[in-house]
Amino acid sequence: ESTEKTVDERLLKVCQLLEENISYYNWVGFYFKNGDKEELKLGPYVGAPTDHTIIPFGKGICGQVAVSNENFVVPDVSAQDNYIACSITVKAEIVIPIFVNGQNIGQIDIDSNTPDPFTDKDERFLEFVCAKVASIL
């Protein structure tokens, strides 16, 4: 029997490490393009369970990143009109796309209960994390 970790186990570990070590990362999860469909499917995550296991492209912060291929930093979720609320405790969100062979295949999504907590440092760090994640998919 193999003791190799599966990809999902590794992704869950990434979520756990981020949530445990960065105080203002309160929900950390991955969404991936769902096969050939124009939608995202929830992957491994830590934090409060969410009803939003499928997100159509274009919908919410995550769905917008699926089509823009760009980082999306939201300092105040209440100021967004195209936003899907998962928990009333969330104040801010950051979504960073994951590229494999130049294709946007998914993203890391982080919610914070702290207002306006994300800086350029978070973007650079999470881009690095996403590049590492891309290399194990």
Alpha-carbon gap, residue 107 to 68, rounded angstroms? 12
Closer of 5 and 48 to ligand SME (Cβ): 48
Q: Which of 17, 22, 84, 105 binds ligand SME (CB under 6 A)?
A: 84
Contacting ligand SME within 11-40 (CB under 6 A): 27, 29
* 3-state class (DSSP) for residue 32: strand
The amino acid occupying position 94 is I
Alpha-carbon gap, residue 93 to 99, rounded angstroms? 20
Contacting ligand SME within 100-119 (CB under 6 A): 109, 111
Beta bridge partners of 100: 103
Spatial neighbors of 108 by CB under 8 A, at least 6 apart, are: 28, 29, 30, 95, 96, 98, 126, 129, 130, 133
Closer of 1 and 51 to ligand SME (Cβ): 51
Closer of 45 and 133 to ligand SME (Cβ): 45
Contacting ligand SME within 44-63 (CB under 6 A): 50, 52, 55, 60-63
Q: Which of 86, 96, 98, 130 binds ligand SME (CB under 6 A)?
A: 86
Tally the residues of the chain.
137
Q: Write out the residues near ligand SME by the rule CB under 6 A.
A: 27, 29, 50, 52, 55, 60-63, 83-84, 86, 93, 109, 111
